[in-house]
Amino acid sequence: MIENILARYEGAGAVAVYAVPDPVTGDQVMATLAGSFDASGFTAFLSAQPDLGTKMAPRFVRVVDRMPVTATNKIHRALLRREGVHCEDPVWWRPPGETTYRPLTRADPHNMEGPPAPTRGPSGVRRQGLEPRTR
């Protein structure tokens, strides 16, 4: 759904949306756009989309000349996910609490490696109807 919305952006020739690990929240939304990118125009575009929820807007936007593809000519999402924000291409990001995108630099906190967000694991509470059959 997010990809379909971002594909409407005037400068996008191809779009891929995927999750990247975040040491604080667990995952963040990242988009890769093949084409041209204007930070203020992209921000205005996102705010004008009535079908884009507030938490659906990508935190990071990677801008590439050509989208990486697999041998079968499909977007290479695994490579994009693996590289995340640590890539040679320009990456723009929207810091928490801000509405505009700016270039991601090495000094930015999201460009640093950190431990994964803590998780508590599966709940020990058994829900009704999900118990194994004992008969």
Q: What is the pLDDT of residues 21-41, one digit of tens each?
A: 887 778 899 999 999 999 999
Q: Give the per-residue pLDDT at 113.
A: 52
Q: How far apart are CA 45 and CA 100, in angstroms?
A: 11
Classify each residue of 15-31 as buried b or exposed e, where b means 16 or more C-beta atoms within 10 Å of its C-beta.
bbbbebebeeeeebbbb
Task: Determine the Cα–Cα distance for residues 2 and 56; give it in Å rounded to an integer.
Answer: 7
The pLDDT of residue 132 is 59
Q: How is residue 63 written in tokens?
A: 């801008």
pLDDT digits (tens, 9 = 90+) for 41-89: 999 999 999 999 878 899 999 999 999 999 999 999 999 999 988 899 9
Residue 91 class from Cβ within 10 Å (0-12 exposed, 13-18 middle, 19+ buried)?
buried
Residue 118 pLDDT > 60: no
Average pLDDT for 3-7: 93
Please give the helix or strand (H or E) that residue 92 lies within, else none: strand 91-93
Of residues 133 and 12, the one with the higher pLDDT is 12
Query: Alpha-carbon distance 2 to 31, whole Å?
Result: 9
pLDDT at 135 over 60: no
User: Over the stretch 85-113, which tens digit does the pLDDT of each residue have?
Assistant: 889 999 999 988 888 999 998 787 765 55
